[in-house]
Each structure stands twice: as structure tokens, then as C-alpha cells.
Amino acid sequence: MLVIDPSRIARVKGFLDELQYDVIHRALRPHYHVLPWPDFDDFAEAIECLPAPLRAAFDLLLLGKSFARKRAETLLDPLFIEDLLALNVLEEPTPAVIRTAGVSLLSFQGRYVFVSILPTYPTCRDTSIPVYLGPDSYTLAHNLPHGRPRDTVLDLGTGSGLQAILLAQASRKVVATDLHEDAVATARFNVALNGLQDTILVTAGDLYAPVEGERFDLIVSDAPYVPVPNSVPYPMYAAGGEDGMLVLGPLLDGVAAHLTPDGEAVLYAAGMGDQQRPFLTARLRALAERDNLTIDLVELFRIAIDNDLLNHTASLALAQPGETGTSPEWGALFERQGARVIYKVLIRIRHGAPLLRYIATGTGHLRATIEAADAE
Ligand SMILES: C[S@@+](CC[C@H](N)C(=O)[O-])C[C@H]1O[C@@H](n2cnc3c(N)ncnc32)[C@H](O)[C@@H]1O
């Protein structure tokens, strides 16, 4: 588990800034703003042109490669290596060899976040991904309502803490919660790494349990929503139970009780549906009626069920090498649920006249899509 030692963490940040880790990462990555992870081999090739210290930093911290400790201390600063070892970012699996303790350092818009190494990287040793960061995280990040300062913010299922970190700039207080103890520890570390301890409080617990009785001007979440057969073990970051609503259901149920009168919730989700619409529409309509909520459900894109099955087959093969063939469990689950399509969606919820508006023409940007629908 990462260690919170503010003075060492501040020094590590100083080293990273001096190396221009984020500036160079951004310059080398064509999809920096959309995809957190570069292709391993492409990035290894792209960094070959860099000065040796920067190349070593990316090899060690982003790609997760092992180094002889002496060599790393020659290429980087020995104090940097000592700090990273003391903070448990680095470990020494055998004497004189160092590597990260299963984490990878990504940067986004000038912020740094340690997260679990991508399972498809050859350096990954734990495919359960305790601290998740994926393309959906970035979709949510781009759709955070940055324009308006918020007094209080709740980031439910914070993972690495990225959304909380991005929102901290325009908020007085941000509470970030997660159920996974590694995510909580890592989010706390990332908050300190970005110098935001005075604004962000990271707490452990199930959904709203750590903030019972509190209300927020903004609630954001990218909670687990993947429909998973009961017979298949699946990592916590994504497992949504057979209907995908295991976490998303109680999260939606608790929104009204945790939003201030003028508050707003912005959620990223996915769900099964038929050819016409996500099954989520019925649930959201009932929620709007029950809790007097105005809800916009914006479709980002849809995936045909056969393609989604292939994705599950690929992720199972990663978790259990040697497993091949399409996943019969997921095929049966989709059949049982009558699903034909998986929808990726953004949801905006406010107190107001009970209304569910389903906007099937999402442009990828929540606010612009809603404004266009308002103008019609
Ligand atoms: C898909 S990840 C998203 C992480 C992060 N919000 C982001 O945008 O990158 C979902 C997160 O929800 C957390 N989680 C799962 N079930 C939870 C629950 N019942 N209560 C709180 N957090 C939960 C997971 O540990 C994981 O960190």
C-alpha cells in the first residue's frame, strides 16, 4: 500500500515537474486527451528519442519495467529513487532490482495519478485492477461541469481520485469515496501528490454510507455497471451483478437525498437494452416520478451484443490465460435479460418536475447535447 509522507511526496512531484513528465507525455501521445493508456510497444518506441533520464522515468513509472537500482540511480536522482521506495511506489523484488509495486504513473491535464498497471501490459502482475483508470474515466472527466464553481462535491467510487482532483480547483470541499481499500489508499496518495489535501477528503465505504445525511452541489460517478453472470468472478471496479444494477441501482436511488436543491449529478454508465433504448430508461422514469427529478439520459454510442460478447471473451482470456472461445455464461445472461445492445450513456439529474428525457443523438458532450435538445 502506498505511504502518505507529505514531504517525500512533494519532493517526488518536484522531480516529475522538473522532468516535464506531463508535458512530454502529452506531446508523445496522439490520443492523450481521450485514452489514458498508450500502446506499450508504440510508447516504448516513441520514448527512444528522449534524453536518458526522461526515458528511464517513463520506462520505470509508466510502462512498469524493472531496472537495476544502480542504473536507475545514475539515470535519475538517487533521492528520487529513495523517495519512491520509501513511499512504496517502488519495490525491490530481488536485491538491487527495482520496479513499481503494481502501479503506473499517468498524467492528465497537468495532474498526476498512480493507478493499477493496465492488464494488457507485459509488466502487469495483477489483472484484478484494484485502482482503475480507463477511457470511460476520461469521458466523464471531459463532461464534468467545469464552468460553474461548486461549494461541495461528491465523487462516488473515486478509484484513482482523478475526478475529485479535476473538480477540486473550483470547489471548496470535495468528498471522494470508494469501497476498495487499495483505491482509497491510492486516491489519498494522488490527492497529496497534486497538493489538494486541504480540499479533498477521501473516505472508505459503500456508496453513500460515508456521507450519510450530507448533501452536495455536485455528485459525479462512473460506478460499476457491467452485467456479470453470478457464476463469473469479476473485479470490483466493473462488476454490476446480473442486471448491471448492483451498484448503479442504489447509487441512483440515493441521488435525490444527497443533492442540494440546486444541485446536479453527472454520471457515466452503460447498460443493456433492446434495439430501441436502454432498459435504464424505465428505471429512470420511475425514479424521476418517485423523487421529483428531472433526468437527461444521453446516449453516447451503442455496441451490438455480439461485439460485447467478444470483449468479455478477451477480458476472461486475460484474467485466465489459456481460456479460449466465446463466453457461454455471458451469452446466456444476455439471452435471459433479452439484451440486444449495450448502451454507453451519460446521465444528468436535478431536482425538478418529474421528467425523463432520453436523447439518443449524443455528440459525446453532455452539456452541448442537452442544450441542443433544449433548443429544439
Ligand atoms: C469504473 S471505476 C471508476 C473510477 C473513477 N471514478 C474513474 O472515473 O476513473 C468504479 C469505482 O467504483 C468503486 N466501487 C465499486 N463498488 C463500490 C461501492 N459499492 N461503493 C463505493 N465504491 C465502489 C470501485 O472500487 C472503483 O474504484
Q: What separation in Å is there between the alpha carbon of 47 and the centre of ligand 1?
A: 32
What pLDDT score was predicted for residue 360? 87
Band of the pLDDT at 375, cuts 50, 70, 90? Answer: confident
What pLDDT score was predicted for residue 9? 98
Given the CA of residue 247, which atom of ligand 1 is nearest to it?
Answer: 19
Given the CA of residue 209, which atom of ligand 1 is nearest to it?
Answer: 20
Question: What residue's CA is closest to ligand 1, atom 26?
Answer: 237
Q: Tens digit of pLDDT for each residue in 113-165?
A: 999 999 999 999 988 899 999 999 999 999 998 777 899 999 999 999 999 99
Residue type at 59?
D
pLDDT at 32 over 80: yes
User: 330: which 3 cell numbers?
Assistant: 455471458
Q: What separation in Å is there between the alpha carbon of 224 and the centre of ligand 1?
A: 6
135-375 CATH choice from 3.40.50.150, 1.10.1200.10, 3.50.50.60, 3.20.20.70: 3.40.50.150
As annotated, the residues of the chain forming the CATH 3.40.50.150 domain(s) are: 135-375
Report yes or no: 279 and 233 within 8 Å, Cβ to Cβ.
Answer: no
What pLDDT score was predicted for residue 318? 67
For residues 2-6, give the mean pLDDT: 97
Backbone φ, ψ for residue 300 (5° rounding): -90, -55
Q: For ligand 1, which residues put their CB under 6 angstroms from it?
A: 132-133, 137, 140, 157-160, 162-163, 177-180, 183, 206-207, 222-224, 236-238, 247
What pLDDT score was predicted for residue 327? 75
Backbone φ, ψ for residue 65 (5° rounding): -75, 155
What pLDDT score was predicted for residue 321? 62
| Least confident piece of the model among 17-21, 97-101, 236-240, 258-262 | 236-240
Band of the pLDDT at 308, cuts 50, 70, 90? Answer: confident
Please tell me the distance from the alpha carbon of residue 369 to that of residue 348, in angstroms, as a whole number: 11
For residues 197-224, give the mean pLDDT: 97
Beta strand spans in the chain (E): 67-68, 90-94, 97-100, 103-108, 111-116, 150-156, 171-178, 200-204, 216-221, 259-273, 293-304, 341-351, 355-359
Q: Tens digit of pLDDT for each residue in 314-342?
A: 776 666 666 555 678 888 999 999 999 99
Q: Tens digit of pLDDT for each residue in 232-287?
A: 888 899 899 999 999 999 999 999 999 999 999 999 999 999 999 999 999 999 99
Q: What separation in Å is there between the alpha carbon of 328 and the centre of ligand 1?
A: 27
Band of the pLDDT at 356, cuts 50, 70, 90? Answer: very high
